[in-house]
Amino acid sequence: MTTSVTVSRIRRRQIAQLIANGMRLDGRGLTEYREIKIERGLIERAEGSAKVSLGRTIVLVGVKVGVGEPYSDRPNEGVLTVNSELVPLASPEFEAGPPGEESIELARVVDRGIRESKSIALEELCIIPGKKVFIIFVDVYVLNHDGNLIDASAMAALAALLNTKIFNYEVEDGEVKIKPGFKPLPVKDYPIAVTLAEIDGKLVVDPWLDEEEVMNARITFAFDKEGRICAIQKGGSGFFTKEQVLEAMRIAREKAAELRKLVVEG
């Protein structure tokens, strides 16, 4: 299989023709994910971590917990920050340097799912109101790019948060003192992102790299555990009809429930 992201016209046509007949080049059905593998807690130095393989896409997420100042408009809440790194070892297309728009978009879509589903009980992460709170740093590290980074990253982020522990502490004279022992990070909801690509009028879930090259546009829906939508992002320079948007939402909602079982129940 090719590692180049330029897809020849013949291959482009082949991908589109197969999809028109309900098939895909890698043998999957249109609404079938690639094989998903999840490894948890593999980085001991991080308070939480997980590695997700989605076919040949590999994403590692590390969660670090720090203590810092809350946002001035939310003095009683912990802080969540999501960052992503498209490191050059992951793809011939990635270059070192400050984060580009791809990487910023990836981090912000993962962030939106976690934040809007109120997955982390941030109000339980306040240490001294207005002064000291826990800061949860979620760092998405892409190790091999073979398409659909959003879904892989969102799953890895959730899996990592689910095994994140925060240290015990006591407050002495306004200072935070670390005490032995840990407790789990309060995770209340399990947001799952599902991405679909539009190729020649058809919708396919979990596009791999060649399909991303061929697709007109993609759309990501994140769902909370109640099946409510908690984030949406359309990407790519094509468009969806209104009917396609609603169909994509229905497919995504079904797939999200399946994926959630894998991530949460493991």
Partner 1 sequence: MTQRVYEKLIDEEGKRVDGREWNELRPIKIEVGVLNNADGSAYIEQGKNKILAAVYGPREAHPRHLTLPDRALLRCRYHMAPFSVEERKSPAPSRREIELSKVIREALEPAIFLEHYPRTAIDLFIEILQADGGTRCAGITVASLALADAGIPMRDLVVACAAGKVGDRIVLDLNDVEDKEGEADVPIAFMPNLNAVTLLQMDGTLTPEEFEQAVNLAIEGCRQIYKMQKDALKARYLAIKKEVEEQ
Give the footprint of partner 1 on this chain (CB under 8 A).
Answer: 101, 104-105, 107-108, 112, 115-117, 217, 219, 224, 227-242, 244-246, 249-250, 253
Residue (87 or 245) nearer to partner 1, CB:
245
For 34, the 3-state DSSP assignment is coil
Residue 219 beta carbon to partner 1: minimum distance, rounded to whole angstroms: 7
207 burial level (CB within 10 Å; 0-12, 13-18, 19+): buried
CA distances from 30 to 20, 33, 57 (A): 10, 9, 18
Backbone angles phi, psi at 109, to 5 degrees: -70, -40
State the amino acid at position 93 in one-letter form: E
For tokens 């109101």, name the residue: 129
For 220, the 3-state DSSP assignment is strand
Residue 108 beta carbon to partner 1: minimum distance, rounded to whole angstroms: 5
Residue 8 beta carbon to partner 1: minimum distance, rounded to whole angstroms: 15
Residue 233 beta carbon to partner 1: minimum distance, rounded to whole angstroms: 6
Residue (57 or 103) nearer to partner 1, CB:
103
Residue (109 or 185) nearer to partner 1, CB:
109
Residue (208 or 240) nearer to partner 1, CB:
240
Residue (4 or 168) nearer to partner 1, CB:
4
The maximal CA–CA distance of the chain, rounded, in angstroms, is: 70
CA distances from 148 to 44, 187, 205, 224, 226 (A): 27, 25, 9, 20, 24
Q: How far apart are CA 23 and CA 203, in angstroms?
A: 11
Q: How far apart are CA 13 and CA 20, in angstroms?
A: 10
Packing angle, helices 101-116 and 149-162, rounded to 10: 50
**How long is the chain?**
266
Residue (87 or 249) nearer to partner 1, CB:
249
Residue 9 beta carbon to partner 1: minimum distance, rounded to whole angstroms: 12
Residue (36 or 204) nearer to partner 1, CB:
204
Q: How far apart are CA 131 and CA 133, in angstroms?
A: 7
Residue 206 beta carbon to partner 1: minimum distance, rounded to whole angstroms: 19
Residue 143 beta carbon to partner 1: minimum distance, rounded to whole angstroms: 23
> Nearest CA to 55 among 33, 74, 22, 72?
33
